[in-house]
């Protein structure tokens, strides 16, 4: 009887010592634009070049056919680089996106005081982002990279200006395209 009692007392101890240890599942954080992103670097590019193609004069509706068979690229110039906290009047610039398609843009000065809070609206479609800024301007961006720690976007400009090039005899040669600017933004998750 003592042996049976001893076995019955030891049995609960045996089962309690073989208890399953917590949940070992790996939680993967979903990739989402809806975060606070701190601007790390802003690059502005200006491209100029000769655009091969036809030109339609908007005033006279005259169509000029291209007599040059290939386009010639003139330049792609890095205009300026802004690195937050080093070459700016602000310590950081934060874009906070949320589910209600609202973007809050905040600047922080070197005394850690926030200023110039602005609220904008945005629409994300696939790999494009359209931001309607508080001042009334709308800007389209291409999302180059979006992961849990990094957001990279490039502005899509609609400021292409095309002018015809005529030779000394007034014969159309080509069209020159200039003032194409693009800005690349590199954000880190805050």
Phi–psi pair at 9, nearest 5 degrees? -75, -35
Residue 68 falls inside a structural domain? yes
Residue 90 falls inside a structural domain? yes
Closest C-alpha to 45, from 70, 15, 16, 82: 82
Helix (H), strand (E) at residue 16:
helix 2-17
Provide the pLDDT confidence category of residue 113 given band limits of 50, 70 and 90: confident
pLDDT at 126 over 70: yes
- Per the structure, how many domains does the chain have? 1
- Give CA–CA dist 155/151, Å, rounded: 13
Residue 1 falls inside a structural domain? no
CATH of the domain at 44: 2.40.128
Residue 159 falls inside a structural domain? yes
Residue 23 falls inside a structural domain? no
Contact 48, 178 (CB under 8 A): yes
- Give CA–CA dist 133/14, Å, rounded: 66
Copy the structure tokens of residue 53.
């193609």
Average pLDDT of the residues in 161-190: 75
Q: Which domain holds residue 34?
A: 30-189
- Give CA–CA dist 155/36, Å, rounded: 19
Q: For the whole model, what pTM was predicted?
A: 0.60
Contact 148, 12 (CB under 8 A): no
The sign of the dihedral angle between the CA atoms of 4, 10, 16, 18 is negative
pLDDT at 54 over 90: no
Residue 143 falls inside a structural domain? yes
Residue 141 falls inside a structural domain? yes
pLDDT digit string, tens, across residues 102-112: 999 998 888 88
């Amino acid at each position: 009887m003592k042996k049976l009692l001893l076995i019955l007392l030891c049995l609960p101890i045996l089962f309690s010592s073989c208890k399953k240890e917590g949940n070992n599942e790996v939680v993967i954080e979903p990739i989402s634009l809806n975060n606070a992103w701190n601007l790390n670097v802003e690059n502005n590019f200006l491209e100029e070049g000769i655009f091969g193609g036809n030109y339609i004069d908007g005033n006279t509706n005259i169509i000029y056919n291209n007599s040059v068979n290939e386009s010639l690229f003139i330049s792609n110039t890095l205009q300026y680089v802004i690195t937050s906290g080093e070459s700016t009047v602000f310590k950081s610039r934060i874009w906070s996106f949320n589910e209600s398609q609202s973007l809050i843009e905040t600047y922080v000065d070197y005394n850690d005081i926030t200023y110039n809070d602005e609220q904008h609206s945005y629409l994300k479609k696939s790999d494009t982002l359209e931001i309607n800024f508080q001042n009334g301007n709308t800007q389209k961006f291409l999302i180059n990279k979006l992961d849990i720690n990094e957001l990279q976007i490039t502005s899509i400009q609609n400021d292409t200006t095309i002018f015809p090039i005529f030779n000394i005899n007034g014969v159309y040669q080509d069209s020159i395209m200039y003032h194409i600017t693009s800005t690349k933004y590199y954000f880190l998750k805050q």
